[in-house]
Structure 1
Amino acid sequence: MAEPLNCSGWVALITGGAGGLGRAIAARLIERGVRCLLVDVNAAGLDQAVRALGPLATAHVADLTNAEAVQRLVLRVRDDIGRLDLLVNNAAVADTQPFEQRSLASIQGEFNINLLAPVLLTHSLLPQLRQAADGRVISIVSLGGIFPLPETSVYSATKFGLRGAMLCLGLDGPRLGVKFGIINPSATETPMLVREAIDGGNKLQFIDPPQQPDEVAQQVLRMLDDPCLERYVRPSESWTVRMAMLVPNLLGRLIPLFRRQGDAGHRRYLASLEQRGMIRQQDGVWQLVPPPGP
């Protein structure tokens, strides 16, 4: 196993910083002395995150689909902070509506957040990353960027695209002087996944119990310590999806075999969420339980 990288004094920018995964990644980086700039459109969530993470965490409210907002963020990094060693492209959204029922605006919005925003932000921050002694870009992609599932056409398209872009940049890394790496989680217990679980998200992602955000965060540290193009949180899942994609014409036969397992896993996950007080049923409808106040 590679020796832990000494990144004390580094500056990292983490998108989606108000969410559970962004916070978990920041917490692990802060343990190593990294100053973290958390970026999100959710101002209240960012405030909670930086208060929980302590003095090495700073908030920046920005809509990454807005060109002017991105430019203000880039200027803050360049002029106010003065350095950037690590960019973590983490922000993402998923819509559970069937493709044919979605609005064009919702489809475009998902592409903007999941694909265009990380690619454009990487491009905009590349000058600062190239000035770093050991500049890095780590993108949180998904097994959904390798293995297609029914009912996830837009999300899969964005993740397939992001994976392709970052793999290409990884091959260009020696020329650019920046190391690029991808983390491919499967279903991870974040607020987004919990909403999917109660709002009709694809049940196939619940075949195995969802992993925790810290499991993904630990892979970010592994990517720092031992850089490579791509890592998986659960190696067994990586082999399953890659083997299946060797025979894509058989996917139509394979998917029905997994549906029963997915339905059972979804029921178990709902029971787990209810047991932990995160959801409750009212008039036969699952609802989120608001977190306790301060």
Structure 2
Amino acid sequence: MHPVVLITGAAGGIGQAICERLIQRGMRLVLVDIQAERLQQVAERLGEQATPFAADLTDHDALARLMSFVEERFGRLDILINNAGIARVEAFDERSVESILGELNINLVAPLVLTRLAIPLLKRSADARVISTVSLGGIFPLPETPIYAASKFGLRGAMLSIGLDLASKGIKVGSILPAATETAMLRHEAIHGGNALQFIDPPQQPEDVAEQVLLMLDKPCLERTPKASESWLSNLAMLFPNLLPRTILLFRKRGEKGLQRYLESLGERGLAQRVNGRWELK
């Protein structure tokens, strides 16, 4: 019997990479994203095993309709992948309340609500899984993105707690903690002054994150990190939070150089250009 998988953020770079790997394993996918047209294109490319369902994850009524759709179409859910996420590049002291709540709702509230709503269908599976794309931003705070950090710190903690709770109830829960990944969101962050610390090393590829999802399916655990070395460094830094100001200063120069190299690579690949001395996405 082919596993039934629901994945949010399916039209994004990481989402598409995950979907492609799951389709190769013969799984049936329910693709969820707010970008309806792009989602339809992804579904058509993946083939008849992929079913699109356009939805705003902050609309809880839409999430309830999504669960009803999955129940009517498949009768159960084997794997829920909470992959959708956003990062706003706005100074905290200049952000609107609506902007703050919007980012928290997508990155933190939506995956928790969706996970809760999915549990009845997951309990019908013989091997139920919940996998969430968190971030190293859920371990290490980044000055330019405090709301992103808040949402990912919260999601990481929640999924660790939920994993401990649901393990005895037949549902395995795990999280993937990727570092900076080559996606449209990262390119937007780089152009608009996102955190330079993300570019200490070259960004990884969406396929690297997808590989960790497969490993999570094959060898379930509470957390996996595509770049284990970065995870160790982040955890070590957080053992001594009062040293964070100095720690960040040590890495910032290296990160700023990496950011410039990344911007230049965008130009070389025809993805960005300099206009009046500033980089802009094409």
* TM-score, length-scaled by structure 1: 0.94
Work out whether 1:14 is the aligned partner of 2:1. Answer: no
Which moved further from structure 2: 44-53 or 70-79?
44-53
The runs of 5 or more residues in structure 1 that have no matched partner are 1-7, 290-294
Select which of 90, 94, 104 maps to 1:97: 90
The Cα shift of 1:287 comes to 2.2
The Cα shift of 1:58 comes to 1.4
Letter in 2 for 1:101: E
Letter in 2 for 1:105: E
The runs of 5 or more residues in structure 2 that have no matched partner are none
Letter in 2 for 1:241: S
Residue in 2 that maps onto 1:123: 116
The Cα shift of 1:50 comes to 1.2
Residue by residue over 1:216-263, the C-alpha shift from the partner in whole angstroms, topping out at 9 and shown as x without a partner, is 000000000000000000111111111111111111111111110011
Residue in 1 that maps onto 2:249: 256
The Cα shift of 1:81 comes to 2.5
**Aligned to 2:112, what secondary structure does the other structure show?**
helix
The Cα shift of 1:284 comes to 2.6
Work out whether 1:215 is the aligned partner of 2:185. Answer: no
Distance in 1 (CA, whole Å) between partners of 2:181 and 2:42 is: 19
Work out whether 1:266 is the aligned partner of 2:221. Answer: no
Contact 1:19 / 1:45 at 8 angstroms: preserved in 2?
no
Map 1:188-267; keep pairs closer than 5 Å. 188-267=181-260
Residue by residue over 1:188-241, the C-alpha shift from the partner in whole angstroms, topping out at 9 and shown as x without a partner, is 111111100111111111111010000000000000000000000011111111
The Cα shift of 1:165 comes to 0.6
Residue in 2 that maps onto 1:182: 175
User: How many residues are treated as equivalent by the alignment?
Assistant: 282
Residue by residue over 1:7-41, the C-alpha shift from the partner in whole angstroms, topping out at 9 and shown as x without a partner, is x6111000001101100001011110011111010
Which moved further from structure 2: 104-113 or 48-57?
48-57
Which moved further from structure 2: 280-289 or 243-252?
280-289
The Cα shift of 1:128 comes to 0.4
Contact 2:32 / 2:54 at 8 angstroms: preserved in 1?
yes
Work out whether 1:154 is the aligned partner of 2:147. Answer: yes
The Cα shift of 1:175 comes to 2.5
Cα RMSD of the aligned pairs, angstroms, is 1.0
**Aligned to 1:132, what secondary structure does the other structure show?**
coil
Select which of 60, 68, 81 maps to 2:61: 68
Select which of 160, 178, 189 maps to 1:167: 160
The Cα shift of 1:151 comes to 1.6
Contact 1:13 / 1:39 at 8 angstroms: preserved in 2?
yes
The Cα shift of 1:45 comes to 1.5
Which moved further from structure 2: 222-231 or 172-181?
172-181
Distance in 2 (CA, whole Å) between partners of 1:152 and 1:285 is: 21
Work out whether 1:58 is the aligned partner of 2:58. Answer: no
Residue by residue over 1:71-126, the C-alpha shift from the partner in whole angstroms, topping out at 9 and shown as x without a partner, is 11010011122221000000001110100111000000001000000000000000
Contact 2:167 / 2:173 at 8 angstroms: preserved in 1?
no
Distance in 1 (CA, whole Å) between partners of 2:128 and 2:190 is: 37
Residue in 2 that maps onto 1:3: none
Work out whether 1:110 is the aligned partner of 2:103. Answer: yes
Identity rate, percent: 57
Residue by residue over 1:158-190, the C-alpha shift from the partner in whole angstroms, topping out at 9 and shown as x without a partner, is 000000110001111222210000100000111
Distance in 1 (CA, whole Å) between partners of 2:278 and 2:54 is: 33
Distance in 1 (CA, whole Å) between partners of 2:144 and 2:279 is: 21
The Cα shift of 1:54 comes to 2.0
The Cα shift of 1:53 comes to 1.8
